[in-house]
Amino acid sequence: MATASEASQQANRSGMDPKRLVVIFYLIAGIVLALFLEHVFGLLWARIGWNDRELFEGLGWRVSSLVGYLLALALVVGAYVNPKSHALSVDVATELMKVTWPSWSETRASTLAVVVASVVAAVLLFFIDTVAYNLMVEWLPAVWGKL
């Protein structure tokens, strides 16, 4: 396993440090987690029947919102400073920076190939299904009835 500095040098083709991607990921994950926990704790407060009073008049921040934001902050900071999760995050970011992403024209061509193959397969399966249905429901009973 490469250290963080080796990973930074190895993945520096794009000029961006993998640690920067890790920080961006943790910030976005923290925001999403905070909004989710705010909603969950708001529902929990209402379900339990606790007074979820507004902390700042007009801002809409309630006690459950503050608890959700603080818990999300603690979880994200805890995950970031944990050596194992931090090293894994840097490794993942390093590997993602090595990926050669397809161009827009390659993506369009691949999508068109998938759509055409799907239509051809659908038409073939339609004909096979129609012939099999007619064979089992109409043709074989007509032949057996004449015997």
Task: Specify the pTM.
Answer: 0.61
Q: Where are the domains of the chain?
A: 4-98, 102-147
Query: What is the distance between the alpha carbons of residues 123 and 54, in angstroms, rounded to a whole number?
Result: 61
Per-residue pLDDT of the chain (147 residues; tens, 9 = 90+): 555 555 445 445 567 788 998 999 999 999 999 999 998 998 898 888 888 778 777 777 788 888 999 999 999 999 999 999 999 999 999 988 888 888 999 999 999 999 999 999 999 999 999 999 999 888 888 888 776
Q: Alpha carbon of 147 to those of 135, 137, 140: distances in Å?
A: 17, 17, 11
